[in-house]
Amino acid sequence: MPDEIQTEEIIKDIFEQGKECFIPRYKPHSSHMDMLKLSSAEDISSLALTSWNILQPSDDDSAREEALAGGGLDLIFMPGLGFDKKGNRLGRGKGYYDTYLDRCMKHPSGKPYTIALAFREQICESVPMAENDVQVDEILYEDC
């Protein structure tokens, strides 16, 4: 989203290193999210823009591999509105990433390492946590 760290250069680097890249597809009116495989860094520009101004594969795009249908994920970059230094994350209230991480924990490859990319202004003294919230493993921000 426009108020989050932009990841285009990270995506390019992933492909330059010969790695695979999966991006989220959110299902509206639910907390369900899938991580679908990009074929190239340029592939992202062909994706549909959602009402949230996010580029993501369309609902009828069934040709893309879902990460949990295969080997799972090693790493997820986590978005958020605020973070504290204990790894607590304030999302946008839909639970997409927490629900997806719960699904990952049931996959044979387990939970991927999670990194939050943040602006320094997003680092808070304390972020409230609910029972189903999953802490991030690491937070990267300007002062790191």
Q: Name the residue type at position 50.
A: T
* Distance in angstroms (rounded) separating the CA atoms of residues 132 and 63: 31
Residue 91 annotated as lining a ligand binding site: yes
Residue 92 annotated as lining a ligand binding site: yes
Q: Are 27 and 100 in contact (CB under 8 A)?
A: no
Residue 96 annotated as lining a ligand binding site: yes
Q: Are 26 and 96 in contact (CB under 8 A)?
A: yes
Residue 94 annotated as lining a ligand binding site: yes
Residue 93 annotated as lining a ligand binding site: yes
Residue 19 annotated as lining a ligand binding site: no
Residue 18 annotated as lining a ligand binding site: no
Q: Are 74 and 110 in contact (CB under 8 A)?
A: no
Residue 65 annotated as lining a ligand binding site: no
Binding residues for ATP: 89-97
Binding-site annotation, residues = 4, 89-97
Annotated binding site for substrate: 4
